Amino acid sequence: MDIAIRATVVFWFLWLMVRGTGKRSLAELTPLDLILIVVIGDVVQQGVNQEDMSITGALLAVAIFVGWTLVANAITRHLPVSRRLLAGEPVIVLRNGEPLFDRMKRERLTLDDLKEAARLKGIGSLNDVEYAVLESDGEFSFVTRE
Protein backbone atom coordinates (compact mmCIF):
# COMPACT_ATOMS: atom_id res chain seq x y z
CA MET A 1 0.00 0.00 0.00
CA ASP A 2 2.92 2.32 0.70
CA ILE A 3 4.06 2.07 -2.94
CA ALA A 4 0.56 2.97 -4.17
CA ILE A 5 0.47 6.14 -2.08
CA ARG A 6 3.99 7.19 -3.09
CA ALA A 7 3.26 6.44 -6.76
CA THR A 8 0.08 8.52 -6.61
CA VAL A 9 1.84 11.48 -4.99
CA VAL A 10 4.74 11.31 -7.46
CA PHE A 11 2.41 10.97 -10.46
CA TRP A 12 0.45 14.12 -9.61
CA PHE A 13 3.59 16.03 -8.69
CA LEU A 14 5.15 15.16 -12.05
CA TRP A 15 1.90 16.10 -13.78
CA LEU A 16 2.03 19.55 -12.12
CA MET A 17 5.66 19.99 -13.12
CA VAL A 18 5.02 19.02 -16.75
CA ARG A 19 1.98 21.34 -16.97
CA GLY A 20 4.02 24.13 -15.43
CA THR A 21 6.84 23.89 -17.95
CA GLY A 22 4.60 24.79 -20.88
CA LYS A 23 3.62 23.07 -24.08
CA ARG A 24 6.35 21.20 -25.85
CA SER A 25 6.26 18.33 -28.24
CA LEU A 26 8.85 15.57 -28.19
CA ALA A 27 10.38 16.99 -31.35
CA GLU A 28 11.21 20.21 -29.50
CA LEU A 29 13.13 18.63 -26.62
CA THR A 30 16.67 19.88 -26.18
CA PRO A 31 19.51 17.57 -25.13
CA LEU A 32 19.25 19.08 -21.63
CA ASP A 33 15.52 18.23 -21.54
CA LEU A 34 16.32 14.63 -22.45
CA ILE A 35 18.96 14.37 -19.71
CA LEU A 36 16.48 15.84 -17.24
CA ILE A 37 13.86 13.24 -18.20
CA VAL A 38 16.31 10.37 -17.67
CA VAL A 39 17.46 11.72 -14.31
CA ILE A 40 13.87 12.34 -13.17
CA GLY A 41 13.03 8.74 -14.11
CA ASP A 42 15.77 7.40 -11.86
CA VAL A 43 14.91 9.74 -8.98
CA VAL A 44 11.21 8.91 -9.25
CA GLN A 45 11.94 5.18 -9.21
CA GLN A 46 13.91 5.53 -6.01
CA GLY A 47 11.22 7.69 -4.40
CA VAL A 48 8.36 5.41 -5.37
CA ASN A 49 9.95 2.02 -4.67
CA GLN A 50 12.20 3.07 -1.77
CA GLU A 51 13.79 -0.18 -0.57
CA ASP A 52 11.37 -2.45 -2.44
CA MET A 53 13.29 -3.91 -5.38
CA SER A 54 10.75 -6.64 -6.09
CA ILE A 55 9.10 -7.16 -9.44
CA THR A 56 5.73 -6.86 -7.68
CA GLY A 57 6.62 -3.40 -6.38
CA ALA A 58 7.77 -2.25 -9.82
CA LEU A 59 4.63 -3.61 -11.49
CA LEU A 60 2.42 -1.97 -8.88
CA ALA A 61 4.11 1.42 -9.37
CA VAL A 62 3.74 1.21 -13.16
CA ALA A 63 0.10 0.12 -12.81
CA ILE A 64 -0.62 3.10 -10.55
CA PHE A 65 0.93 5.52 -13.08
CA VAL A 66 -1.02 3.98 -15.96
CA GLY A 67 -4.19 3.93 -13.87
CA TRP A 68 -3.95 7.64 -13.01
CA THR A 69 -3.27 8.42 -16.67
CA LEU A 70 -6.44 6.55 -17.66
CA VAL A 71 -8.44 8.30 -14.93
CA ALA A 72 -7.22 11.72 -16.07
CA ASN A 73 -8.09 10.88 -19.70
CA ALA A 74 -11.56 9.66 -18.71
CA ILE A 75 -12.20 12.80 -16.68
CA THR A 76 -11.26 15.06 -19.59
CA ARG A 77 -13.53 13.09 -21.94
CA HIS A 78 -16.57 13.08 -19.66
CA LEU A 79 -16.21 16.48 -17.97
CA PRO A 80 -15.36 19.08 -20.62
CA VAL A 81 -14.69 21.76 -17.99
CA SER A 82 -11.83 19.66 -16.62
CA ARG A 83 -10.08 19.52 -20.01
CA ARG A 84 -8.66 23.00 -19.61
CA LEU A 85 -7.15 22.11 -16.25
CA LEU A 86 -5.90 18.61 -17.03
CA ALA A 87 -4.96 18.82 -20.70
CA GLY A 88 -4.55 22.53 -21.36
CA GLU A 89 -6.14 24.53 -24.11
CA PRO A 90 -5.08 25.85 -27.50
CA VAL A 91 -3.74 29.41 -27.59
CA ILE A 92 -3.86 31.75 -30.58
CA VAL A 93 -0.34 33.20 -30.86
CA LEU A 94 -0.65 35.02 -34.19
CA ARG A 95 -3.58 36.83 -35.77
CA ASN A 96 -3.64 38.35 -39.26
CA GLY A 97 0.12 37.96 -39.64
CA GLU A 98 0.82 39.78 -36.35
CA PRO A 99 2.41 37.87 -33.46
CA LEU A 100 0.59 38.20 -30.14
CA PHE A 101 3.67 38.75 -28.01
CA ASP A 102 1.87 38.74 -24.65
CA ARG A 103 0.53 35.25 -25.32
CA MET A 104 3.83 34.09 -26.78
CA LYS A 105 5.63 35.28 -23.66
CA ARG A 106 3.15 33.44 -21.44
CA GLU A 107 3.75 30.25 -23.46
CA ARG A 108 7.53 30.78 -23.48
CA LEU A 109 7.69 31.10 -27.26
CA THR A 110 9.97 33.26 -29.32
CA LEU A 111 9.28 34.74 -32.72
CA ASP A 112 11.95 32.40 -34.08
CA ASP A 113 10.01 29.41 -32.70
CA LEU A 114 6.91 30.59 -34.52
CA LYS A 115 8.76 31.24 -37.79
CA GLU A 116 10.43 27.83 -37.63
CA ALA A 117 7.08 26.08 -37.07
CA ALA A 118 5.63 27.97 -40.05
CA ARG A 119 8.55 26.98 -42.28
CA LEU A 120 8.16 23.34 -41.25
CA LYS A 121 4.53 23.56 -42.43
CA GLY A 122 5.65 25.05 -45.77
CA ILE A 123 4.70 28.65 -44.93
CA GLY A 124 7.29 31.16 -46.08
CA SER A 125 6.02 34.27 -44.33
CA LEU A 126 3.95 34.92 -41.24
CA ASN A 127 2.12 37.57 -43.28
CA ASP A 128 0.47 34.67 -45.16
CA VAL A 129 -1.07 33.37 -41.92
CA GLU A 130 -4.48 34.40 -40.66
CA TYR A 131 -4.16 32.47 -37.37
CA ALA A 132 -1.44 30.45 -35.69
CA VAL A 133 -2.52 28.28 -32.79
CA LEU A 134 -0.32 26.59 -30.23
CA GLU A 135 -2.28 23.42 -29.56
CA SER A 136 -2.52 21.81 -26.13
CA ASP A 137 -0.05 19.08 -27.19
CA GLY A 138 2.64 21.63 -28.14
CA GLU A 139 2.14 21.41 -31.91
CA PHE A 140 1.32 24.42 -34.09
CA SER A 141 -1.68 24.77 -36.39
CA PHE A 142 -1.76 27.43 -39.08
CA VAL A 143 -4.73 28.85 -40.96
CA THR A 144 -3.45 30.62 -44.04
CA ARG A 145 -5.17 33.44 -45.87
CA GLU A 146 -7.14 32.47 -48.94
Whole-angstrom distance, CA of residue 18 vs CA of residue 144? 31
51 phi/psi in degrees, rounded to 5: -90, -5
Find all residues with CB under 8 Å of 3, minimum gap 6, and list them. Answer: 48, 49, 50, 52, 57, 60, 61, 64
Whole-angstrom distance, CA of residue 107 vs CA of residue 114? 12
Give the DSSP letter of residue 138.
S
The pLDDT confidence band at residue 131, using thresholds 50, 70 and 90, is very high
At residue 34, what is the residue type?
L
- Average the pLDDT over 111-124 and give the result: 92
pLDDT at 93: 94
Q: Which CATH number fits domain 91-144: 3.10.129.10, 3.40.50.300, 3.40.50.410, 3.30.240.20?
A: 3.30.240.20
Which residue ranges make up each domain of the chain?
2-86, 91-144
Higher local confidence (pLDDT), 78 or 37: 78
The pLDDT confidence band at residue 34, using thresholds 50, 70 and 90, is low
Whole-angstrom distance, CA of residue 95 vs CA of residue 92? 7
pLDDT above 70 for 25: no
pLDDT at 15: 77
Higher local confidence (pLDDT), 39 or 89: 89
- Average the pLDDT over 44-55 and give the result: 73
Among 22-31, 79-88, 107-116, 124-133, the range scoring the smallest mean pLDDT is 22-31
66-96 residue pLDDT tens: 888 888 888 888 888 877 777 778 899 999 9
The percentage of residues in the chain with a pLDDT greater than 70, rounded to a whole number, is 84
